[in-house]
Structure formats: structure tokens, C-alpha cells
Amino acid sequence: MDKVRANLMLCAGTGCVASGTPKVKEALLEELKKRGLDEEIKLVLTGCNGYCAEGPVMAVYPDQVFYQKVTVEDIPILVEEHFLKGRPYQKLMFKEPEKKTAIPRMGDIPFFKHQVLRVLRNKGLIDPEKIEEYISRDGYQAMAKALTEMTSEDIVKVVKDSGLRGRGGAGFPTGLKWDFASKVKSDIKYMLCNGDEGDPGAFMDRSVMEADPHSVIEGMVIGAKAIGAHHGYIYVRAEYPLAVKRLQLAIDQATESGLLGGNILGTGFDFHLEIYLGAGAFVCGEETALMRSLEGKRGMPRPRPPFPAHKGLWDKPSVLNNVETLAQIAPIIMNGSEWYRSLGTEKSAGTKVFALTGAVNNVGLVEVPMGIPLRTIIYDIGGGIRKGRKFKAVQLGGPSGGCIPESHLNTPVTYEDIVATGAIVGSGGMVVMDDNTCMVGTAKFFLEFTADESCGKCTPCRVGTKILLDMLTDITEGKGKESDIETLLDLGRDIISTSLCGLGQTAPNPVLTTIKYFRDEYESHIRDKWCKAGVCRNLTTFWIDEKLCKGCGACLRACPSKAIIGEKKQPHKIIQEVCVHCRTCYEACKFKSIKILPAGFEGDPSELLEAAAAAGEGKKGDSK
């Protein structure tokens, strides 16, 4: 008997492996064997499903049941109940945050239901370490078509007409880039893939490389044919060991099968592909710096023109595309440009993958048609703000991007509309922030990153980001000056207009957008020495409102500095001299009786709090 009646797709992506997949796998295999089910039920290890926070995750087919947080202890009962007796095991199913009802099927879970999978089409459906599985999902068919039935011009035309734009950040039309490179005469050209993924928190590209490495390779071969390249490199950061391993395995298997290397599929076309490991510097994701790094030199950008399409790697014409861009090529070749355009908007066609994180209920990778409103992603897919808190801002585009407030939540996610807000779509980082976030602190966080990662070649970026950071640090420590806001704005604009590469040209965005939408926070930090979110320690006084305090003792027990006193059922009090402003009590209080006041505040704050509450309400009203 070799008929298999069920496939268990257990996630073996980086996240799930870290949270226990290897042990779960052993336990599952053992239990299936013990129950005599090991021949009829097949265990398949997949790449990242983009749902790492709830890992290890596992999908069961044909039932389409989705399990999360699977532990070794769950295995015996899971196997007996579901795989032997056919009763899906509720304990491991997704549950809606408020209702607690279990949702068995993946397709019914809101997080997955609203997604449209093109880039992530094979996510969780194949074993990325077996080329046959990729081929079974029509893999390499598009490459075969491109190599046998299409000219270079045909390929360029389809990709141009599709409207596909680069997913690495800049959104440059892919077809146009290929067109430029294809028209340059040269005996040697290079087709390159950018798998550097430097934005903090982003993991779209890692997920694709781990879960579907062949889709990137196939896109590269098609691109190589389009521009006339016979050599290529995938530049991946060394911090992605699993992605590197799977890519290498995929390259080896493809080469062995004649799908890479010399005379691909007997068509006479050659394409040799290698992996190059990067050391994880953010600037090495920038195209000219990446090419220098590939040449074995220090990764620093250079002025453009000349553009890489004319003078790239080793001064030869080169095309560099992002992982996600390349993963879309095969379906476009198979299904045509009209198909691709059927989703998205006129100028932002197709789908985009976002890494949704932060203060939302459901975090993970989200692939959606471009043009849907931010609100849909945050509320319908993300399940709204965690712990019933209030939305404050969504950060798009990582260190090059900006913060978008509630009043702009209906903005459709397209390149143009997001830029109009001051942020950028970027590579797809999407961090949701609630009312516990200090916006000055957020800007400071990103500037710390860019100031650190600036390569130092040009002065505006090297010195400018440092000055921005120092001023932000001063503001968060209570040393801000009234003129600081204007200086930040002026300097920010100067850095943008004079920096050499995209790093400096976008680094001030987090500062500019937070000033644009949250100027009052900067002002209260500077003028009132008051961080209303209670994050900047020097700019807070924590105070217990006696009228609201029930004397439950939660804050007293939580305080690490023993700064809170009070009898049971009597209002408690914070000894200001002892308090270290860590906000632990604020989080612990269930009755919202702890208030955040300006630094060094004494006396009765009721008037101040009323005014602040009224201002908050007013602002909320404005936004509707």
C-alpha cells in the first residue's frame, strides 16, 4: 500500500524551527509509526508560512485544517484524534481574539482569508528542498516557455505591460530596467538578485527564499534571457543561513537537472548562478554598493549615472532585482500581463507582500492586492489593535519610510498614495503602533539605525544623520530647545537633497513625518517636558489618581523599585524620589488610575489632564 491519504505540511522556516519544529517533527514521525499511520500519512517540511509568531505551524491536507503553536506534548492526542479518528483538534486551532471560537480551516482564518497569494503562491504547499515539488506546481514551465517560444523583446514587453515595479523599495518599473540592459551591447552582462533585506523587522524576502527558492531562480533565468546575461549572483546576507542553504540546494538541484548552467533544457541557453554572502550592512542593499561588495570591495555606493544597466558589476551591464520582484516573473510569463494587471491599480499593479508587526492582534506576512486601504490590512487582516488599545500610527518603509496617522488610514497602498503621505511603500515593513508609543522616540529609533548604518562616504548623510539623532536624543531627555523643530525640518530637507545614495536621501523621513503628523508631541516634549505616552523617562511623572484607585495592590506588587505605598483597599501613592519612571505600574493598573504627568509635576493635575483629554478628543474628531 503506498496510497497516501493525508499530507501534513509542517513549517520548517527559521521562525518555526526556532520555536520547536525539529522536536515536533521527531515526535510526529514516532507517533505516526506507533499508530501504524506512517505509510498513509506523509509529513512534509515546508518553508516559512509568514506566521512565525504562532509557530510551529502545520497545515493538514486534504482537510485544510491549520494548527499553530504545536508542541511535542500535543502530538499523541493530535495523532489519535485527528489523524486516526478524524476529529480535528481544537486546542491547536486559531482562535479569534475576543470570541475564543476555534477556526479549523486556513481559508476561514481572517488573517489568511483576505490575502491573495502570487508571490507566496507556494508558501506552505511544497517542500522547498525538493525540486520535483516546485515542478509539480508548474515550476520552470514559464522558463521553458521563455527559452523556447519567446524572444528577448517578447519577454521585456510582457514584463513592461504587466506594470510590475521593483519590490526592493524604489518601485522602478522592472520591464523598463530590463529594456535598458537588453539594448546595451556587451559580451558579458550580469543578472543579479538582491536578497540583502536590510530593513529592520522585514522578512518578506527571507520567507520567499526559504519557502520557494526555485521561484527566484526561475525569475532570474527569464531575466537573464531578456537582457542577454549568462552569469548571475544572488546576494544574501549571511544572517539568513537557512535561506542560503535552501537556495544553494535549489541551485544544485536545478543545475543537476539541466535547469541551470549550460544548455538549459536543451535550448542552448546558458546561465550560471552563484550565491554571494553579504555581511549584513544596510547600505550593501543599495544597488551600487551591493555591486562593489560583490566585487570583493568595501560596500559603498557611487554616484549614478552611469546606471548599472550600462556599468554595473565589474563595469559590465547589470540588472539587479529584488527577491520578491523576481518571484513574480514566472506567473507573469505564464499568465500574461493582463492577468497581472487584474489586481492592483493603474500605476501600482499586482500584489505586494508586507511584514505586518507591532501592536496588532495578528502579525506576519501579508500579501494583498495593491490599492487596498491601510485600514483593511490593519483591522481585517491584522485583527485590530492588541488589548483593545487605541491606534496611533503605522510605520511604512522602515528606516526610509514614515509614520502615517489615523486620519490617513484610508490611504490605498500604492506607491503614489503612500509617498503623498510622506512615507514610502519601501520593501514592505509595516509596524503598527498604539497609544503607548512616543513618536519622538520612534523617530529616534530609526535615526539610530541610519546614523549607525551610514557608510560615511558623503558628508550630509554621515554628519547630518548624527546631528538629527543628537537633537532627537536631547528632546527625549528634556534638553530640547524651542528652535529644534525648525532645525530638524531644515536639516532633514538638506540631507534629502544632498546625500549621495538612497540611504541619506530617505533617512530623515521618519523625522519629517512624525513632525508633520505629531508636531504637538515634539512641542510638549520641548515646552512642557512631558512625554504623554510615558516612554521618555526624563519627561514623566507617574501619579495615582486617588479617586480611581481601588487599592488592589497590583501596581505595588509590580513596581521593581518599591516606590509605591498604600494599604489594601486604600488609595496608593507613588514616592516620586524613588520612582525610576519605568511605567511598569502604568501597565499593571486595571483601573486606569495611574496618570502620566509632565516631569517634576507637583500639585493637583486635574485641570491639566482634562485639557489633555479634551485636546485628544478634538484631534480624534478632526480625523474623521
Partner 1 sequence: MPRLTIDDLKKIKEKHRSDFTLREGGYRAKVTVHMGTCGIAAGARAVMTALMDEITKANITDVIVTTSGCAGLCAKEPLATVEIMNHPPVKYCDLNDEKMREIFREHIMAGNPVEKYALVAGCESTY
Q: Judged by CB, which is closer to partner 1: 151, or 487?
A: 151
Q: Which does 601 bind (CB under 5 to 8 A by kind): ligand FES, partner 1, ligand FMN, none?
A: none
Give the torsion sign (CA, 129, 193, 419, 440). positive
Give whichever of 355 and 563 is closer to ligand FMN, judged by the CB atom: 355
Which helix (H) or strand (E) segment is 609 a member of? helix 606-623
Q: Does 11 bind ligand FES (CB under 6 A)?
A: yes
Helices 204-211 and 241-256, interaxial angle, to 10°? 40
49 binds, among partner 1, ligand FES, ligand FMN, none (CB under 5 to 8 A by kind): ligand FES
Comparing CB distances to partner 1, the nearer of 131 and 381 is: 131
Q: How far is the CB of 481 from ligand FMN (least distance, A)?
A: 30
Of positions 14, 293, 318, 509, contacts ligand FES by CB under 6 A: 14
> For ligand FES, which is the closer residue by CB, 179 or 205?
205
Instruction: Using DSSP bridges, classify how beta strands 65-67 and 541-544 pair: parallel, antiparallel or unpaired.
Output: unpaired
- Cα–Cα distance measured from residue 534 to residue 545, given in angstroms and rounded to the nearest whole number: 16
List the 231-237 sheet strands across, edge first: 272-278, 231-237, 190-195, 318-322
Least distance CB 80 / partner 1 (angstroms)? 10
The set of cell numbers assigned to 444 is 529616534
User: Which of the choices partner 1, ligand FES, ligand FMN, none does residue 503 contact, using the CB cut-off of 5 to 8 A by kind?
Assistant: ligand FMN
Which of partner 1, ligand FMN, ligand FES, none binds 14 (CB below 5-8 Å, type-dependent)? ligand FES
Q: Note whether 194 binds ligand FES by CB under 6 A.
A: no
597, β-bridge pairs: 541
Identified binder of ligand FES from the candidate list 49, 288, 351, 509, rule CB under 6 A:
49
Site residues (vs ligand FMN, CB under 6 A): 166-170, 172, 174, 194, 196-198, 282-283, 285-287, 320-322, 325, 427, 501-503
**Helix, strand, or coil here: 279?**
coil
Q: Which is nearer to partner 1, 86 or 268 (CB)?
A: 86
**Binder of residue 259, out of ligand FMN, ligand FES, partner 1, none (CB less than 5 to 8 A by kind):** partner 1
Nearest approach, Cβ of 237 to ligand FMN (angstroms)?
8
Closer residue to partner 1 (CB): 64 or 623: 64
* The residue count for the chain: 624
300 and 292 in contact (C-beta within 8 Å)? yes
**Residue 496 CB partners (closer than 8 Å, separation 6+):** 504, 505, 506, 508
Dihedral of the CA atoms 389, 395, 396, 401 (nearest 10)? 170
Q: Smallest distance from the beta carbon of 75 to ligand FES, in angstroms?
A: 17
What long-range pairs does 62-66 form, CB within 8 A, spacing at least 24? 62/6, 62/7, 63/6, 63/88, 63/104, 63/105, 64/105, 64/106, 64/107, 65/93, 65/104, 65/105, 65/106, 66/93, 66/94, 66/104, 66/105, 66/106, 66/109, 66/112
Selected from 8, 48, 222, 425, the binder of ligand FES by CB under 6 A is: 48
| Residue 487 CB coordination number (10 Å) | 13
Binding site for partner 1 (CB under 8 A): 1-7, 9, 40, 42, 61-64, 83-87, 125, 131-133, 135-141, 144, 148, 253, 256-259, 265-266
**Minimum CB separation from ligand FMN for residue 471, in Å?**
22
Other Cβ atoms within 10 Å of 421 Cβ, number: 21
Give least dist CB 61 to ligand FES, A.
17
If you write DSSP's letter for every residue of 196-261 in order, what string do you get? ---STT--HHHHHHHH-HHHHHHHHHHHHHHHT--EEEEEEETT-HHHHHHHHHHHHHHHHTTSSB
**533 CB burial (10 A radius; 0-12, 13-18, 19+):** buried
314: left (phi over 0), alpha (psi -120 to 50) or beta: left
Q: 45 in helix, strand or coil?
A: strand
Q: What is the nearest approach in angstroms of ligand FES to the Cβ of residue 355?
A: 11
- Output 472 or 503, the one with its CB closest to ligand FMN: 503
Interface with ligand FES (CB under 6 A), residue from 8, 28, 52, 204: 52
Q: Binding pattern to ligand FES, positions 54-93, x when CB under 6 A? A: -x-x------------------------------------
16 touches ligand FES (CB under 6 A): yes
Q: For residues 54 and 453, which CB has a smaller minimum distance to ligand FMN in the complex?
A: 453
User: Per CB under 6 A, does 563 bind ligand FES?
Assistant: no
Interacting stretch for ligand FES, rule CB under 6 A, among 51-59, 467-475, 483-491, 526-534?
51-59
Q: Show the cell assigned to 232.
A: 548571475
Looking at the DSSP assignment, which residues form a beta bridge with residue 593?
none
Binding site for ligand FES (CB under 6 A): 11, 13-16, 48-52, 55, 57
